Amino acid sequence: MTRIAIVGVAGRMGRQLVAAVHQDPDATLAAGLVKPDSSLVGVDIGELAGQGRLGVAAVATLEEAIDSFDVLIDFTTPQVTLANLAVCAEHGKRIVIGTTGLDHEQLAELDAYRDRVPMVFAPNMSVGVNLSLKLLETAARALGDEGYDIEVIEAHHRHKVDAPSGTALKMGEVVAESLGRTLKEHGVFAREGQCGPRTDKEIGFATVRAGDIVGEHTVMFATEGERIEITHKASSRMTFAKGAVRAARWVADRDAGRYDMQDVLGFTDSR
């Protein structure tokens, strides 16, 4: 039985994570954190998540819960996640990180823990998205250097703070890597005004932010005469939460290392 603690239990993902852990017969809900200054400290986290009373009161700091859990699941902000990662390293804990929007420096800071902490870090924990990444590798290899233009289009709810989404960037990276390109050199993240025609090798990104869209991603391979689109649409955040709990169970008996959902789902060997 994997004992799981969740950070940000009052958040959109946090509430789903509480429900997903509660519904998983192989996981136990050990602790839930809210912001230190939150009025929700002490409130039952099951009630926060609409699951009824679960007998676990929300706490304000990770240290308070440190002896109760094996794996921490963190879907918050880059700064909060990095602080929690440091505490996990200090206390020999494992971590599943869903937080997106880490900049270059923050990614390097996270990566520096790979020799000390068993961690799963993935911008999208859904099984369908991770399967789509495999399909994209195949499509890119077959089409990318044959005159097909590649564009990544994503849509999310109005509250999302980073753009393009971590998933869109990951999809772009997978395509770029399969073709020996890099997003640094070939990614085009904005087009406005007289920007000229597209170049052959660029990988374009377009972002929609509207209403309550949970998350939609399309990678388009277009040439004269045809267009192939690989699309994933999430209709509920539960898909990410279930993936995160699966990752937590998986990482519970792994050695230190930085893993992703491709590893959790067993796709890595065939890479």
Interface pick for ligand NAD out of 80, 86, 89, 256 (rule CB under 6 A):
80
Q: Pick the catalytic residue from 35, 134, 157, 160.
A: 160
- Cis peptide leading into residue 164 (ω within 30°): yes
Q: Which among 22, 93, 156, 232 is annotated as catalytic? A: 156
Has 160 been annotated as catalytic?
Answer: yes
**CA distances to 42, 60, 64, 124, 244 from 69, in Å:** 18, 15, 11, 23, 15
Q: Cα dist. 77→59, 87, 255 in Å?
A: 18, 16, 25
DSSP helix/strand/coil, 165: coil
Question: Does 7 help bind ligand NAD (rule: CB under 6 A)?
Answer: yes
Per CB under 6 A, which region of 74-82, 86-94, 139-147, 198-206 contacts ligand NAD? 74-82
Determine, following the binding rule CB under 6 A, whether residue 218 of this chain makes contact with ligand NAD: no
Our answer to whether residue 157 is catalytic in this structure is no
Cβ count near 83 (within 10 Å): 14
Which of these ranges, 7-15, 47-55, 145-153, 204-212, lies near ligand NAD under the rule CB under 6 A? 7-15
Largest interatomic CA distance in the chain: 61
Say whether residue 245 binds ligand NAD (CB under 6 A): no
Q: Which one among 2, 5, 75, 247 touches ligand NAD, defined by CB under 6 A?
A: 75
**Chain centroid to CA 232: how far?**
15
Would you say 30 or 143 has its CB closer to ligand NAD? 30
Residue with smaller CB distance to ligand NAD, 214 or 256: 214
Contact between 13 and ligand NAD by CB under 6 A: the answer reads yes
Q: How many residues bind ligand NAD (CB under 6 A)?
A: 23
* 8 A C-beta contact, residue 98 and residue 125: yes
Residue 85 or 143 with smaller CB distance to ligand NAD = 85
Instruction: Provide the minimum distance between the beta carbon of 127 and ligand NAD in the complex, in angstroms, as a whole number.
Output: 11
Q: Which of these ranges, 24-32, 69-77, 147-155, 171-179, lies near ligand NAD under the rule CB under 6 A?
A: 69-77
Q: Which of 213, 216, 118 is nearest to 168 (CA)?
A: 216
Q: Which is nearer to ligand NAD, 118 or 243 (CB)?
A: 243
Say how far apart CA 142 and CA 53 lie, in whole Å.
53
Nearest to 140 by CA among 132, 64, 84, 43: 132
Q: Do 181 and 163 meet the contact criterion of CB atoms below 8 Å apart?
A: no
Quote the CA–CA distance of 193 and 122 in Å, as a whole number.
Answer: 35
Assess 164 for contact with ligand NAD (CB under 6 A): no
Count the residues in the chain. 271
- Interface residues toward ligand NAD, by CB under 6 A: 7-8, 10-14, 33-35, 75-77, 80, 98-101, 122-125, 240
- Hey, which residues are catalytic here? 156, 160
